[in-house]
Amino acid sequence: MTPPGAPSDRSPDADPTTGAPMTDQRSPLHDEHVALGAALTSFAGWQMPLRYTSDLAEHTAVRTAAGLFDLSHMGEIDVTGPDAGAFLDRALVGDLTALRVLGARYTMVVQEDGGVVDDLVVYRTAADAYLVVANASNHDVVLATLRERAHGTGLDVTVTDRSAATALVAVQGPRALAVVEALPGLTAGPGTPGDVTPATLRYYACLPMRFDGLPVLVARTGYTGEDGFEFFVDAAGAPGLWRALLAAGADHGIVPAGLSARDSLRLEAGMPLYGNELDRTTTPHDAGLGRVVRLDKVDADGAPLPFVGRDALAARAQSAPARVLVGLQGLGRRAARHGYDVVASTRPDAPVVGTVTSGAPSPTLGHPVAMAYVTPEVSAEGRELAVDVRGRREPVRVVPLPFYRRPR
C-alpha cells in the first residue's frame, strides 16, 4: 500500500529530512515539535505537526484532560485607528463597533456576491484596536482584502500584518483552566483589568497579560468544543511559553496535539473548516451561519450600514436555500470523506442528493460523522440517507449539529 503523504518522488526542492517543500515556512516552535517526535506535514505553506503520538490519543486527551496546540501558522492582522470599528463594520459581515473592549467575535469576510472569503475571529483589544485572526490558508487574501477595502474610504484606519512576528498556542480541554492557573510567570500587566483572571475570563473574551514579562493576549476561544485558552505572543517568546505549559500541565494530563486531532475535534463540535464547509461559492447562510451577518447594523447616524456583500446576503436571507448543511451520523462502519456523494438510500439506483464536506470516524461517539450539503427536501432531522464510500453505499441519518457538546 502507499502510505498517505509519502512523497512519490524525492524532488530536489524538498527538504531531505522531511520531504517537505523547501518553500514551507517553519513555526517558531518547529524545534519543539521535532524534539517531541512529531510527524510534520505541509499545511497552507507551513510545516506543522500532524500528530505527535496517535490521533486518537491526542483527540481523547483534549476531551478528557488537555491538549496543547501550535497554531502559529494562522494570520494575525491588527486593524487600528479611530475608525477601525467603522471600517470593520463595512469590510466584514458582523457588527464590530458593537463588540465590547476585550471581547471576541466569530465573523466572516465575504465577496460582493456574498461568497465567503474567510471565517475569522476578531478580538477588540482597545476602543480603537482590533486583532483579526485569519486562517493560514487565507492569510494573504484577507490581508489584501482588508487593505483594498480600507483604501480610498477616507477612514482613519491602519491595517498592519503581525503574522510573521506572532505565535499562537492553544490549551484546550476540561483541564485547560487548571493548566493555565498552574502556569508560573503568567501575571497581570499594565493593561489587565483588576477584576479579571483566566478563571473569570468569559467565553469569547480576551485579556492582555504578561508571561515572563512578555506581553501576551489570553483569549478564551478555541476550535475544539472544549473549554480552553489561546495565547498570542511574540514569536521569540513562544518556546518558553510552550515548554512552561507542558510542564504546568504535566500533572493534569496535558499532551501536545496536532492538526489531525484538531480536525476530528472541530468536526465533532460541528465547526466549519474553510475549504470544506465554507468557500467562495457558499454564503454564511448556506452553512447555517446566517446569524453572523448583521443586516441590522447601523452607522453612527443610525442609518443602515452598507457593507461588502450586504445586498446579496439580504436577498439570500429572504430566499429559499438551494442546499442545506446537515450533520450525518454514520450507521455503518465506514466514514464518508470530503467530496463523497450523499445519495437518497443504500439502493444502487438511489440518486445523488448532496456532497460530503467533511467526514471522519468520531472517537468520542464511536461512529462515523460527516457534514454535508444536501437538497432541502432531504434535510429533515432523522431522514435516512446513504453516502457513497468508494463504491459502497453506507447508511447514514441526518442529525442536528453539533455532534458533541461538552458537559457543563
Partner 1 sequence: MAAELPTTLQYTAEHEWVDAASPVTVGITAVAADALGDIVFVELPAAGDDVQAGAVIGEIESTKSVSELFSPVTGTVVEVNQAVVDDPSLVNTDPYGAGWLLRVEVTANGPLLSAEEYGALNP
Q: DSSP secondary-structure letter at 236?
A: G
Cβ at position 56, least distance to partner 1 in Å: 4
Contact 96, 124 (CB under 8 A): yes
Minimum distance from residue 266 beta carbon to partner 1 (Å):
14
Question: Shortest distance, CB of residue 59 to partner 1, whole angstroms?
Answer: 8
Q: Which is nearer to partner 1, 50 or 109 (CB)?
A: 50
- State the Cα–Cα distance between residues 279 and 269, nearest whole angstrom: 19
Residue 222 vs 363, nearer CB to partner 1: 363
Query: What is the SS3 assignment for 86?
Result: helix
Q: State the nearest-atom distance from the C-beta of 35 to partner 1, in Å.
A: 18
Identify the H or E element spanning 131: strand 129-134
Q: What Rg value do the Cα atoms of the chain yield, rounded?
A: 22
Q: Give me the residues that bind partner 1 (CB under 8 A), please.
A: 1-6, 39, 50-51, 54-56, 260, 263-264, 333-335, 337, 360-361, 363, 390
Q: How far is CA 352 from CA 20, 267, 346, 378, in A?
A: 37, 23, 11, 11
The CB-of-127 to partner 1 minimum distance in angstroms stands at 44
Q: How far is the CB of 3 from partner 1 (least distance, A)?
A: 3
Number of neighbouring beta carbons within 10 Å of residue 262: 26
Q: How far is the CB of 257 from partner 1 (least distance, A)?
A: 13
Q: How far is the CB of 263 from partner 1 (least distance, A)?
A: 8
Q: Closer CB to partner 1, residue 56 or residue 399?
A: 56
Report in angstroms how near the CB of residue 135 gets to partner 1 at its nearest: 19
Sign of CA dihedral 135, 136, 142, 143: positive
To partner 1, the closest distance from the beta carbon of 396 in angstroms equals 16
Angle, alpha carbons 190-191-197 (nearest 5°): 100
φ/ψ of 310, rounded to 5, equals -55, -50
Nearest residue (CB) to partner 1, 57 versus 317 = 57
Cβ nearer to partner 1, comparing 116 with 267: 267
Closer residue to partner 1 (CB): 163 or 264: 264
Please, which residue, 38 or 219, has the CB nearer to partner 1? 38
Q: Are 56 and 146 in contact (CB under 8 A)?
A: no
3-state helix, strand, coil in the chain (%, to 5): 20, 35, 45
Q: How far is the CB of 5 from partner 1 (least distance, A)?
A: 6
Based on CB atoms, which residue is closest to partner 1, 138 or 362? 362
User: Coil, strand or helix: which one is 326?
Assistant: strand
The answer to whether 24 and 42 have CB atoms below 8 angstroms apart is yes
Question: How many C-beta atoms surround the C-beta of residue 381 within 10 A?
Answer: 10
Going from the C-alpha of 129 to that of each of 79, 86, 228, 256, 403, the distances in angstroms are 6, 11, 24, 32, 36
Pairing of strands 46-51, 25-26: parallel
Q: Provide the greatest CA pair distance for the chain.
A: 67
Q: Using the minimum distance from each CB to partner 1, give the nearer residue, 64 or 111.
A: 64
Nearest to 405 by CA among 232, 238, 269, 230: 269
**116/188 Cα distance (integer angstroms):** 38
Using the minimum distance from each CB to partner 1, give the nearer residue, 8 or 23.
Answer: 8
Please give the grid coordinates belonging to residue 4: 498517505
**Given the complex with partner 1, which of 17 and 281 has the nearer CB atom?**
17
